[in-house]
Amino acid sequence: MTDATAAARAERARRHAEELAAMADGMSARASGMYGRFAGGQPLLVGHPSYRPAVRDRARADNATRRAIEAQREAERAQAKANQAEAVADLAAIEAARSRPWQRSDFLPGDIVTVRDFRRDMAVTSSYQVKRANAKTLTLHAPARGFDDPKRTYDRVLSRTRDGVTITNPADA
C-alpha cells in the first residue's frame, strides 16, 4: 500500500467515524427529548385516559434510546478503524521516506529495532534486540514474549536504535 493510498484511506475512515458520531449524538438527543413527558415524575395511572398514550410514548422513547446506544457503539467501532487506518498511514509514510532499503550491514548485535508484525495493512509493531543479522532476516531476542529467536525480514524494520540514537532511514546509518 502506498503512502498516498494509506493516507486517503485514513482520511475517509476518520470522516466516516465523525459522521457516525454526529449521527449518534443526534439520535441520543432526540431520544432524551422523547422522555420530556415523563420529566415531572408523574406516574402512569392505570385506567386513566392518558395511560395508553403514555405507555406508547415510553416504549417509543425506550426504542429510540436503544437505537442511539447501538449507533454510539457503531461510531466507536468506526473510530477504532479510523485509528488503525491512521497508524497504517503513519507506517506507510515511514516506509515511503526511506531512500534505500535496510540491509544486513545496517545492524549490529545489541541494536534495538522496531519491526512491523504481520501484514502491511495492520499497524502492529514490536521492539526487539538484534541477536544476529543474517543475509535475508534479523534474528531477534525476545525472552519476555514466550518464544525464542523470532526472525523478521529487513523490509519489516521501521527503525533502529543504537547508543540512544534512533533512525528510520537506513541512508542515515
Tens digit of each residue's pLDDT (9 = 90 or more) over 16-63: 999 999 999 999 999 999 988 887 777 888 988 888 988 999 899 999
- Residue with grid cell 432524551, as numbered in its chain: 32
| Nearest-10 Cα torsion for 49, 54, 57, 58 | -160
DSSP category for residue 119: -
The overall pTM is greater than 0.85? no
DSSP category for residue 154: G
Tens digit of each residue's pLDDT (9 = 90 or more) over 94-111: 888 888 888 999 999 999
Identify which has the larger pLDDT, 146 or 61.
Answer: 61
Half-sphere exposure of 165 (CA within 13 A, CB side): 6
Q: Is the pLDDT of residue 148 over 70?
A: no
User: Which ranges in the chain belong to alpha helices (H)?
Assistant: 3-34, 51-96
- Residue with grid cell 501484514, as numbered in its chain: 119
Quick one: pLDDT at residue 145? 60
Mean pLDDT value of segment 52-76: 94
CA 71, CA 23: separation in Å to the nearest integer? 8
- Vertex 55 angle, CA 43 and 28, to 5°: 95
CA 163, CA 169: separation in Å to the nearest integer? 16
DSSP category for residue 143: G
Distance of CA 43 to the CA centre of its chain: 46
Least confident among 2-6, 9-13, 82-86, 140-144: 140-144
CA terminus-to-terminus distance, the chain:
25
Phi/psi of residue 165, nearest 5 degrees:
-105, 125
